[in-house]
Every structure is written in structure tokens, then in C-alpha cells.
Amino acid sequence: MLLSKAIDQFLHELADVRLASEHTVAAYRRDLVRFVAFCGEDASLSAINRTQVQDWLVDSHAAGLAASTLARRLSALSSFFDAAVQAGWCRANVAAGVRPPKLPKRLPRTLPPEQTAALMNHTDRASELRDLALLAVMYGCGLRVSEVVGLNLDDIDMDQFELRVFGKGRKERIVPLPQGAVEYLQAYLGERISAVEEKAVFLNRFGRRLTVRSVQRMLKDRALENGADISVTPHRLRHSFATHLLASGVDLRAIQELLGHASLATTERYTHLDIAKLTEVYDEAHPRARRKG
């Protein structure tokens, strides 16, 4: 079997059987297509060995790619070979024995509290109600950007103040809606475009589901309008949500559930932050804070 054909079948299974998101499939495709280009379009899957995998990483490193990129490429390749072995296309995962490059340890980066609050400053945008509701939900619930644009109307339970969220691998979780987010959401839904066939909560001006890129652009624009001196991304908002909760004394496992982390180890990164400093600013600076004394 050709390597390229095996990869095509793997990507098809990833999307249609494992129900991976479009972004996940696209990321795998980019990395695996590069490996095919390195090995040659006519390369046979059975002929691929560990040396070729190592050579590909060396070549990628020589091109100036970061250690995190090399680790991601190796991970994608290893996942592919795992699937290939299970399908009987090859005998062994030749990427499994290759050691990934050491990654620098990075602490999650958070927004200064005053900058987070400034994102909620009112503007004259036509989409202001939608944008404020989206920000309140994404930040107040700690959602990934893909999760917030993926929300449908029937995922909202206003009676229980809850959201049904589908995370990575379509894993479902229920998260509470803070009071502030409820108010913004109700205001937006009251003015939301009537799109009979569109189930999405957040719509663009054409009445269709908002895209990830549109949310990223909106965040960037609002940050610039408010004089931000560092970049504002959906991922950074999510980190800010988690660090503020931890600073207020919320249990780490509860934060894990809210974030939808499969492993507690992922959530434990937040324990390395300056908790004392975060606690000091939490009550007065968190826009969605509702702590009880």
C-alpha cells in the first residue's frame, strides 16, 4: 500500500469514524502530507522505517522549526502508524521509538485583569450584542473557541443556567452559566437574526454560524481598540478563566471538569502560577467574579 493512500484512509477514519473536528483533521493532514513529500509520492508504507522518521525530524529542525512543531509532527506520525498497525497495513509503529525533542516548560499566559475587563467595554459595532454575549460565555465558562462557535440553541438551558458543550473528540460536558453571561446571552438572543434553518447560537451578518477566524479577528480588534499592549487570543481568555478560578480557591478537579481536560496533569499546570498575586486581584478585577465573602 502506498504511504499516501494509507494516510488518506487514516484521515477519512479520523473524520467519519472517530468524529474528530475539522481543525484536528486539517492539522493531521498538514503534518502527514509533509511526511509524504519528504518520503516521496510513490513511497510504500511497508518500506518506511525509523531512520526515515528521524531524518524527517532532522530535516525539519534544520529548516528552523520550533521544538513544539517537531513534537507535534512526531505525534501525528505516531498516531497514524498506530492506526496503520491496528488496520493491518503494517507490522509496527516505526515512529514509536523516536524520541521527541525536549520542549521548554511554559506556564500558561494570562491577560492582565484590567485588560480582560476592558474587552467588555461597549462599542458602536453592529454586532455588539452578539460580541458581548460571546465574550461573556467564552470567558465566563472557559470555553475553547471551537466550542463556543459550535454551540447550538438547544445546548442552552436557561432554566438551569447551564450549557451543553462538545469538546475534543465530541466529548460532552455540562458547564454552569455565570449570571453575567446569562444576562448578555438573553439580550443577544432577544435580538438574534431569525434564521429558521440555522441552529447555531452565534451568527454572522449573513445569518450563518460564526467561524473561529471571525472570533479571533473580533478579539484582536477589541483589544486594539482598548489599547492592549499584548495579544488577546481565545486560548489566552481560557487560561485567564482557569487561573482566576484557581486563585479563588476552586478545586483543581472541578476546574478540570469545567475545562474539559481529559487529564488532571494538563490542569495542574495552573498550580505553578503566582497564586498569591492572582488572589489579591481576583475580587476587584475579574469581570465575571461573583465570590461570596
CATH value at residue 7? 1.10.150
129 and 193 within one domain: yes
**Please, which residues have CB within 8 angstroms of residue 36's CB and are 6 or more apart in sequence?**
3, 4, 7, 43
* Average pLDDT of span 144-152: 93
Can you tell me whether residue 110 is helix, strand or coil? Answer: coil
Q: How far is CA 88 from CA 84, 195, 231, in A?
A: 6, 47, 46
Residues 82-118 have pLDDT tens digits of: 999 999 999 999 998 888 766 555 655 677 777 777 7
54 and 123 within one domain: no
Lowest mean pLDDT among 21-25, 47-51, 106-110, 287-291: 287-291
The share of the chain scoring above pLDDT 90, in percent, equals: 37
The pLDDT of residue 283: 42
CATH number where 155 lies: 1.10.443.10
- How far apart CA 258 and CA 256 sit, in angstroms, is 6
Range of the domain at 30: 3-87
Residues 202-238 have pLDDT tens digits of: 999 888 999 999 999 998 888 877 766 567 888 888 8
Residue 168 lies in a domain: yes
Is the pLDDT score of 58 beyond 90?
A: no
Cell of 119: 474587552
Residue 125 lies in a domain: yes
- Work out the pLDDT band at 260, boundaries 50, 70, 90: confident
The pLDDT of residue 281: 41
68 and 145 within one domain: no
What is the set of active-site residues? 144, 168, 235, 238, 261, 270
Q: Which residue has the higher pLDDT, 111 or 5?
A: 5
248 and 120 within one domain: yes
The pLDDT of residue 292: 42
With both helix axes pointing from N to C terminus, report the angle between 128-141 and 212-225 in degrees, rounded to the nearest 10: 100
Query: Which of 72, 87, 102 corresponds to the end of one domain?
Result: 87
Lowest mean pLDDT among 10-24, 208-222, 225-239, 276-290: 276-290
* Average pLDDT of span 182-199: 84
153 and 25 within one domain: no
